[in-house]
Structure 1
Amino acid sequence: MAGKKREEEREKAFYENGSKLHEKLIATCNGRPIPIRSYSCEELQRATNNFHSSRIFHTDGFKHEWYNGFFEGRMISIKEYLRHRGDDIFTDIAVSAKMSTHNNVLKLIGCYLETQIPISVYESAANGSLFDRLKVTSDQREPLSWQSRLKIAREIAHAISYLHTAFSRPIVHRDIKSGNVFLDQNDVAKLTDFSLSISIPEGETHVEADSLIGTYGFICPHYYTTWYITEKVDVYSFGSFLLELLTGQRWRELLRTTNNFYDGDPAIPVWLKGSVDSFDVEDFESARNSFAINEVVDPAILVGEEGSVVWQQLQAVLRLALICRKNNPEIRPDMVDVTKELRKIERFIL
């Protein structure tokens, strides 16, 4: 009887989740839902050794656990949702499916719907999350070089640009951060986790949020005060993401460990003054004399990186990060221009 009841519960979950996902896919993909492979419980259990803890390669607080798996001769990544809010899981799956053709988005290859909370299956993220990679210690893999970080910044900027411009209704990610960027076996950056994503209606400049969600330090001040969501919300978050790449620190760590403050606010480092609207970013060159660039960047970046070109790149990326984090969204560039600027910096055309 217990087996029959369990089978009935799985069948009920499959139809309920399938219905919700189909509806979200139609809404997200303009009435042309993308076919998604359906995995069975037994297939995923075999792929992950029954979801053994040794297969976990990344956790995102109490929200997700990511497993390495092996299925049909290839490595895969399996995302288990530990909790969810509303239909965010179905938004994540639908937008991931829509974006899977982009080389810098983690490709969705299927999902398992026969449980109360669905499970998603993706291409392999062999080198884990960028967040974990930035935190490597001396007895682990080599730290990411500056050129690798610059390449990752450009790749993720390109993925966000595509999200904003490739569709009739621009999609805003709303949670750009190192924990939502994975690396494949060649350290190609892959954007993931579209659970907070939202579309801007055709012909509109913004959409009004029904709740304020995101990650501390990455939430746009204008969004915080107005609840208006535009593409510039992601630009602000991307500025914080650039600072993660530069400093190698999480945002909370960055604020806690920085001793130079300004304007009497103990929460803001002096070198972040450039992201405040009252500060003219054109004065950045003179303002940076109040600190040394090596006080800002991750010390691991500086190992073996010598020469004026690297210093100019570091300064240019810091300057770009501060512009992206301007309080006034009108002052921030769009992601297409950010991507172009990173290409110029990467090619040493400064």
Structure 2
Amino acid sequence: MLSLLRHPNLVNLIGYCAEGDQRLLVYEYMQLGSLEDHLHYLRPDQKPLDWNTRMTIAAGAAKGLEYLHTEANLPVIYRDLKSSNILLGEGFNPKLSDFGLAKFGPSGDKSHVSTRIMGTHGYCAPEYLTSGKLTMKSDIFSFGVVLLELITGRKALDDSRAREERFLVDWARPMLKDGMNILNLADPLLRGHFSKSTMKKALEVGFLCIQENANCRPSIGDIVLALDYLTSHPYSAHEAKRVSVKGPENNESPRETTRMLDRDFNRERAVAEAKMWGESWREKRLQSAENSSDGSNT
């Protein structure tokens, strides 16, 4: 399957060896290792990923998944999207790797693919775990977990934590629903150096992705639009104040804190807003390109 897939955010298969009993695949070298390494297994001499890099990685991974879902000759369900399968190259450019569990998506009038339950605990969508029914929205759930990993710095499943905090989704979902103190979800290694509004929007996208009802999760196209918008508004340490993550700011009311992530979250409105961010940004880029072209022709 991998030999048929070509995209800047997918690891390239360079060649293979099939000699005697030897079966080897040769992939391009990804010099910065995996996202998992940079989030959970930092060496003493390594710096943690900054906010802008994390959002760039999320956007790139989403584009790789979008290619699998909508642009490949046959739609592909990745089935094993996780931080250890996102490899990082020069400039922290992310590429999806390891397509051993990937399946071609449903064809004709079928809504899902029935398959033996496989994957990594902590990333699998609930409907897939209970029924073995696999859809594109199963990948969206897994992507939401990865996005929460990037924001919180926590593992998808961490047996060293208290029982109620072992699964990242179970720990984060109540805070996302409640909307109070959501800035406390931020990875302590960020040391408050992130845009508060951008983080809230990123959490909004993550919250939509991990909805228990698969039909309430956004499409990968909507996610790409939203994340493109967020990466087009990078955090600048010189232009923004450090964010306190100890609780709500004194001048911020609970209503304002929960404005984007309130208890009765409206999925359609949220997706429309996410699309609006991305489409507005894309239109500005196109307009800028047209103006530049007109200027060069005069």
Task: Give the TM-score normalised by the residue count of structure 1.
Answer: 0.61
8 Å contact kept, 2:32–2:88: yes
1:335 and 2:236 matched: no
Instruction: Verify the 8 A CA contact 1:169 1:201 in the aligned structure 2.
Output: no
Residue 185 of structure 1: how far off its partner (Å): 2.4
Contact 1:180 1:191 in 2 (8 A): yes
Which residue pairs with 1:38 in the alignment? none
Structure 1 SS opposite 2:57? helix
- Alignment-derived partner of residue 268 in structure 1: 170
Higher RCO, Cα 8 Å, sep 6+:
2
| Higher strand fraction (1 or 2) | 1
**Distance in 2 separating the partners of 1:302 and 1:258:** 26
Assess if the C-alpha contact under 8 Å between 2:169 and 2:210 holds in 1: no
Corresponding position of 2:45: 140
Mapping of 1:28-39 within 5 angstroms?
none
Amino acid at match of 2:83: S
Number of the residue aligned with 2:203: 318
Question: Matched residues in 2 for 1:300 and 1:266: separation?
Answer: 17
SS of match in other structure, 1:128: coil
Q: 1:299: which partner in 2?
A: 188
Letter in 1 for 2:30: A
Structure 1 residue 125: deviation in Å? 0.3
Q: Which of residues 6, 9, 14 in structure 2 aligns to 1:109?
A: 14
> Distance in 2 between the 1:123 and 1:267 partners?
33
Q: Which amino acid aligns with 2:103?
A: I
Counterpart residue identity of residue 98, structure 1: L
CA contact (8 A) 1:129 1:181 kept: yes
Number of residue pairs matched by the alignment: 235
- Supply the distance in 2 between the matched residues of 1:274 and 1:255 (Cα, whole angstroms): 21
Q: CA deviation at 1:219?
A: 0.9
Q: Distance in 2 between matches of 1:266 and 1:235?
A: 16
Q: Aligned pair in 2 of structure 1 residues 181, 115: CA closer, same or farther (>3 Å)?
A: farther
> Does residue 98 in structure 1 map to residue 4 in structure 2?
yes
Q: Could you tell me how far apart the structure 2 residues matched to 1:318 and 1:255 are?
A: 24
Task: Report the secondary structure of 1:253's partner residue.
Answer: coil
How far, CA to CA, are the matches of 1:187 and 1:267 in structure 2? 25
Q: Which runs of 5+ in 2 are unaligned?
A: 234-276, 279-298
Verify the 8 A CA contact 1:274 1:323 in the aligned structure 2. Answer: no
Give 1:114 deviation, angstroms.
2.2
> Which blocks of at least 5 consecutive residues in structure 1 are unaligned?
1-94, 276-283
**Shift in alpha-carbon separation, 1:137–1:260, aligned structure 2, 3 A:** closer
- Match of residue 88 from structure 2: 183
Residue in 2 that maps onto 1:29: none
Verify: 1:200 aligned to 2:200, yes or no: no
Residue by residue over 1:70-109, the C-alpha shift from the partner in whole angstroms, topping out at 9 and shown as x without a partner, is: xxxxxxxxxxxxxxxxxxxxxxxxx22222x210111110
Cα deviation, residue 227, structure 1:
1.8
User: Given the superposition, is the C-alpha separation of residues 330 and 292 from structure 1 closer, same or farther in structure 2, using an over 3 Å criterion?
Assistant: closer
The 3 A distance-change label for structure 1 pair 223 and 136 is closer
Structure 1 distance, partners of 2:66, 2:212, is: 20
Aligned residue number for residue 76 of structure 1 = none
Identify the residue that residue 288 of structure 1 maps to in structure 2: 179
Alpha-carbon separation, structure 2, partners of 1:193 and 1:131? 14
Q: Structure 2: how far apart are the matches of 1:244 and 1:328?
A: 21
d(CA) in 1 for partners of 2:22, 2:95: 24
Q: Highest CA radius of gyration, 1 or 2? A: 1
Q: Which amino acid aligns with 2:3?
A: A
* TM-superposed deviation, 1:117: 5.8
Counterpart of 2:231?
346
1:259: how far off?
6.6
Contact 1:157 1:335 (8 Å CA) reproduced: yes
Q: How far does the alpha carbon of each residue in 1:238-296 deviate from its partner, in whole angstroms, 9 at most, with x for none? A: 000111111222112289258779xxx99932x41378xxxxxxxx5xx221x341x32
Measured at CA, do residues 164 and 300 of structure 1 come closer, stay the same or move farther in structure 2, by a change above 3 Å?
Answer: same
Structure 1 residues 157 and 266: CA distance shift in structure 2, 3 A:
closer
Deviations 1:42-77 (A, max 9, x none): xxxxxxxxxxxxxxxxxxxxxxxxxxxxxxxxxxxx
What letter corresponds to residue 301 of structure 1 in structure 2?
Answer: L
Percent identity between matched residues is 29
Match of 1:232 in 2: 137
Cα separation, partners in 2 of 1:137 and 1:339, compared to 1, 3 Å: same
Residue 246 of structure 1 aligns to which amino acid in structure 2? Answer: I
Name the TM-score, length of structure 2 as normaliser: 0.71
Aligned position for 2:61: 156
